[in-house]
Amino acid sequence: MMLDPAKLPEAMRTISAWRIEPEAPVNCPQCGTSGFVITDCSARPHAEWYRLQCAACGLEQMLNIPLGAGGPGGGY
C-alpha cells in the first residue's frame, strides 16, 4: 500500500523524529499504530531515502528527501 499523499507531512515529521531518536517507538503516520519500521537507504550526499513499512496497515513506501530542503527538526 502506498502512503496517502495527505499523510506526507506527517510521514516527514515521523522521519525527523526518528532521526533524532532512532531508539524511540515510531507510530505509523497512516494508521497510528506502533511498530512502524523506517529503514535508512540513503545515498548520501545526494539524497536521503527511507523505506517506510507498517505491518498493521500494509504500508510500504520509499520516501525521498532532497538534501538541503530543510524541514522541521532538520539540522543538517
Strands (E), the chain: 37-40, 47-53, 60-66
Supply 37's cell numbers.
519500521
Residue 11 interacts with Zn ion (CB under 5 A): yes or no: no
**Residue among 33 and 70 whose Cβ is closer to Zn ion:** 33
Mask for 14-53, x = binds Zn ion (CB under 5 A): --------------x-xx----------------------
Residue 12 near residue 65 (C-beta atoms within 8 A): yes
> Sign of the C-alpha dihedral, residues 26, 17, 41, 50?
positive
Report the residue from 56, 62, 67, 69 that binds Zn ion according to the rule CB under 5 A.
Answer: 56
Binding site for Zn ion (CB under 5 A): 28, 30-31, 54, 56-57, 59
